[in-house]
Structure 1
């Protein structure tokens, strides 16, 4: 006779795994912490490889310390050789040597569904990478399924003829996305959150095809970690087997809900509510 007090043990199950390679945000709004929250909310198993430790909060970053190339390599090998991710998201990597380590790992392990958020320009317009690191970062693009620059980052990546403020219309966004997709051999999503005309994004594939994802600005100043959150949500959807366009659409819907939830923490640009779906059930 079975013991009625015995704990029920569920049948073994599995989940698609997604890896984030990024910096740590101790305040929890961006970076590794935002990525893992997003992955949990999007129904996948999140794993993390840390590129740097930052001291930051809603008012800014006060200190950054990169990990060594050796410990980065060890983290990557530990993940890829045991729980191979169905998708990988890459965020903040500020050091050319670390970028080279990541590229080696992606090639070695033939990582699928790589989504790279090129963290190159801060929300205030400050360039975050030196020339060597920028060159190394663009060298990863050919290993990616998708890169997700915002408008200032797209202007930097496009280079000559695309100075600050040059991408100011939907046509310019589309042209920039097509130019970058052709140059780097991967799909490109130019995000319109910095536009005064709305929050629509445009996707270009390597054949020059365009898909628009319409959105409106939400009146909420607390948008810390939007780029991290969107790229992680897209990677999660790709790991679940969605098409690229469907993954972007789902990721954008998740991000919109996280902003619209209206979480208000801290004295600066605060974090979003990554658990908003559970609070609206």
Structure 2
């Protein structure tokens, strides 16, 4: 839940509009964060926080398939902290990213930091031509709308199917389910989308077509279909990833930590080295966010 003031900062609307929204909810003192984000996204004001984020991504990727697939040079820092505040140090194993080199690993036992350099794949394969998969794809696009969803609900495929809404996690799970039902080998892949100095966690689908692995990005396609990304991205995502997506290596996607008090995967943060420098100047100490 968030305050009315915070909701106003996300919506970036006139005070009278904010008061009307609050009144429609019975004059609540706090509002649901996810509801506010979705109202902001579909407000069509062009100035709300989620709309501005997608406008930035649209400018970064450009307007043609050549610019959408253009590889991106990566220079970033991965960091994590043991979730147990009494950790006295232990073992760390960082995830691996496709096409990157990891260097400068540092750890005091409780905290981990590593620098990664490289480039995204940036490949343009081609749109999938298989008729059965095209039917799955068109069925998905006609029945799904992108929405921000709490992490606890985003992986609930029954909820996603019932409401026809979800984020990249729900969209990927839904289309994977349909691909498997149609008799194809398919799986979910994870990574990060570089939409600015702070990459966002992202999921998409991989499907095997005539022995070749193709990448399908249902959530980006849904955003394009809703008019938030350039015309053509919807078709492009049926076989391709945007060049600004950095995949985690399959089978090595988790940050693992072991100590006397904890053993298992932990949340991790990833920011550009430029952003990390700005944080250090501001004296900002980050805590790894919950992935979603």
- TM-score normalised to structure 2 length: 0.27
Using CA pairs under 8 Å that are at least 6 residues apart, name the structure with larger relative contact order, 1 or 2.
2
Structure with greater Cα Rg: 2
Higher strand proportion: 2
